[in-house]
Structure 1
Amino acid sequence: MQICALLNKDGGTLKTIDVEEFARDIEQKFRAHDHEIEVSIIAGDQLIDTLAQLAENNECDVVLAGGGDGTISAAAQYCWQNTKTLGVIPAGTMNLFARSLGIPLNLDDAIDALADASKKQVDIATANDELFLHQLSVGLHPKIVKMRDQEQHQSRFQKIYGSIRAALTTFSRPPRYQIDVKIDGESAREHLSLIAVSNNKYGRGHMPYADFPQQGELGIYTARPLSTQANLKLASDLILGTWDANPDLKERTAQKVTVSFPDGKKHPEVTIDGELVEDQKRFEIQIHPKALSVLAPPPPQPFNLFG
Structure 2
Amino acid sequence: MYHETTQKESSICLIANDKSGKGKASEQVSQLEAWLKRQPGKTRFERVRKGSDIQDIAQRVAAGPYDTVVVAGGDGTISTVAGALAGTDKVMGVIPSGTFNYFSRSLDIPDELEDALRLIEVGRSKAVNVGTINDRVFLNNASLGAYPAILDQREDVYRRWGRSRIAAHWSVVKALLTVNKPLSMRVTVDGTVYRMKTPLAFAANSAYQLEEFRLEGADAVRNGQFALYLAKDCGRFEMVKFAFKLARRKLEADRDFTLICGEEILIETLQAHRLVARDGEKERMLSPFRLRVLHDALNVIVP
Q: Hey, what does 1:303 align to over in structure 2?
A: none
Following superposition, the deviation at residue 134 of structure 1 comes to 1.3
Q: Distance in 2 between matches of 1:231 and 1:212?
A: 26
Structure 2: gaps (5+ residues): 1-8
Aligned pairs for 1:158-307 (under 5 A) are: 160-175=165-180, 176-199=182-205, 201=207, 205-207=211-213, 214-226=222-234, 230-244=238-252, 247-263=255-271, 268-297=274-303
Q: Percent identity?
A: 26
Given the alignment of the two structures, is residue 47 of structure 1 paired with residue 54 of structure 2, yes or no? Answer: yes
Deviations 1:192-241 (A, max 9, x none): 01111122556654137969965211111111133566534532443354
Counterpart secondary structure, 2:286: coil
Judged with a 3 Å threshold, the aligned counterparts in structure 2 of structure 1 residues 136 and 27 are, in CA distance, closer, same or farther, namely same
> How well do the aligned residues superpose, as a CA RMSD in angstroms?
3.2
Q: Hey, what does 2:4 align to over in structure 1?
A: none
Following superposition, the deviation at residue 155 of structure 1 comes to 4.3
**Partners of 2:190 and 2:263 within 8 A in 1:** yes
Following superposition, the deviation at residue 91 of structure 1 comes to 1.5
Match of 1:26 among 35, 51, 75: 35
**Partners of 2:125 and 2:299 within 8 A in 1:** yes
Matched letter for residue 254 of structure 1: G
Matched letter for residue 71 of structure 2: A
**Partners of 2:153 and 2:174 within 8 A in 1:** no
Judged with a 3 Å threshold, the aligned counterparts in structure 2 of structure 1 residues 105 and 244 are, in CA distance, closer, same or farther, namely farther
Judged with a 3 Å threshold, the aligned counterparts in structure 2 of structure 1 residues 185 and 106 are, in CA distance, closer, same or farther, namely same
Judged with a 3 Å threshold, the aligned counterparts in structure 2 of structure 1 residues 94 and 206 are, in CA distance, closer, same or farther, namely same
Following superposition, the deviation at residue 145 of structure 1 comes to 0.6
**Partners of 1:217 and 1:287 within 8 A in 2:** yes
Given the alignment of the two structures, is residue 8 of structure 1 paired with residue 17 of structure 2, yes or no? Answer: yes
Given the alignment of the two structures, is residue 139 of structure 1 paired with residue 145 of structure 2, yes or no? Answer: yes
Judged with a 3 Å threshold, the aligned counterparts in structure 2 of structure 1 residues 285 and 109 are, in CA distance, closer, same or farther, namely same
**Partners of 1:237 and 1:246 within 8 A in 2:** no
Matched letter for residue 282 of structure 1: P
Q: Distance in 1 between matches of 2:208 and 2:60?
A: 35
Counterpart secondary structure, 1:156: coil
Q: Distance in 2 between matches of 1:102 and 1:210?
A: 16
Match of 1:126 among 116, 129, 132: 132
Q: Distance in 2 between matches of 1:90 and 1:108?
A: 11
Query: TM-score, normalization: structure 2?
Result: 0.81
Q: Distance in 1 between matches of 2:293 and 2:138?
A: 10
Number of matched residues?
A: 289
Matched letter for residue 123 of structure 1: N
Structure 1: gaps (5+ residues): 298-307
Judged with a 3 Å threshold, the aligned counterparts in structure 2 of structure 1 residues 293 and 232 are, in CA distance, closer, same or farther, namely same
Following superposition, the deviation at residue 294 of structure 1 comes to 0.7
Deviations 1:36-60 (A, max 9, x none): 75443342515344434434543x2
Q: Distance in 1 between matches of 2:220 and 2:262?
A: 17
Following superposition, the deviation at residue 190 of structure 1 comes to 0.3
Query: TM-score, normalization: structure 1?
Result: 0.80
Given the alignment of the two structures, is residue 109 of structure 1 paired with residue 118 of structure 2, yes or no? Answer: no
**Partners of 1:123 and 1:289 within 8 A in 2:** yes
